[in-house]
Amino acid sequence: MTIFTQNSATAIADLLPVNPDEPVFVLTDTVTQQLCLPALQTNARLQQAKIISIPNGDDNKTLNTLTEVWGFLSENGATRHSLIINLGGGMVTDLGGFAAATFKRGIDCINIPTTLLGAIDASSGGKTGINFLGLKNEIGAFHAPKAVVIDINFFRTLDTPNLLSGFAEMIKHALLDNSTLLGETLAFDVEHIDYNRLETLVRKNLDIKERIVAEDPHERGLRKALNLGHTIGHAIETLSHKTGEPLLHGYAVMWGLLCELYLSHLQHQFPTSTLNTILYFAKEHYGTFPFTCKQYDALFELMKHDKKNEAQTINFTLLADTGDIRIDQTATKEQIFEALDFVREN
């Protein structure tokens, strides 16, 4: 269930445990605690909630942080009937969802994404997890939240890079669906935000994602489409952290999208005009590709660890056209390197 609201504290009132003595927990990071938690605490019952604050940043989406959350729940009386409210970006909803999935074999959670990326990507669909051994979301579980509450006002706290990070996932959803939505998305003025228009686009995006997830909740078939751009994108993101110059998730996904659209062009004649339009948008707003050809082998090795792979074969979602999805596709090492050259050199 997805709820759009202008007042998160009011919207979740009916979702709290019936028993007023049952503990309610709010998981935040240090930034969200300062910027967004006060809006929830206008609800009298949430003023009594137990606050779990974890360090900000994807580097903290680890087993150590998860252990601290489990420990806090255990030490503060959480039961199987407790509720954890994950208030934050994708790192918080991923880790908090996994904590909820595993504590006492599963408790309820509500996701309140405070970033555009969190709303579009991590908060819905039931995927939860942590990073492990330097690999993105290597350990996790499917655990659908009781609700996702989206308050567009939280997005007003975002700087331009964090807004663009979420916007890359919106472009991905539009590519999966139809050319009209893709045109609307690319025409959106990311420098001067119309928040009412942004909410309309977010609704359309979540309709696409929820339709796909409802048909394939555990990623046996169609849901693999949502991985468009992520096989190469996750490798780019992981390597950026290893080299000490971390990229925001959506920036890595944007470069992954372009690489995989180039593979789509090579293998399925994805239109050159659409590919070049998105390339121009990326170069204008996301900067330059962050790696050189000397790092291609490292990227390729990271791709080999992707969760979608089967029998040591790197697995991609590709497109023949906007909305024409081809799952379970492969590419040679030479083709992958050619795709990396395309985004680096153009």
Residue 344, by phi and psi: left (phi above 0), alpha (psi -120 to 50) or beta? Answer: alpha
How high is the pLDDT of residue 309? 67
Average pLDDT over residues 159-166: 93
Q: Which of 226, 225, 242 is nearest to 299 (CA)?
A: 242
Strand residues in the chain grouped as ranges (E): 2-5, 24-29, 50-54, 83-88, 108-113, 127-132, 135-142, 147-151, 316-321, 324-329
Q: Quick one: tokens of 104? A: 């006492």
Which residue's structure tokens are 């420990």? Answer: 71
Phi, psi angle pair for 39, to nearest 5°: -65, -35
How high is the pLDDT of residue 194? 93
For the segment 177-221, what is each residue's pLDDT rounded down to a tens digit? 999 999 999 999 998 999 999 999 999 999 998 888 888 887 778
What percent of the chain lies above the pLDDT cut of 70?
98
Residue 26, beta-bridge partner list: 51, 85
For the segment 284-328, what is each residue's pLDDT rounded down to a tens digit? 999 988 898 899 999 999 998 776 766 578 899 999 999 999 999
Phi, psi angle pair for 271, to nearest 5°: -60, 130
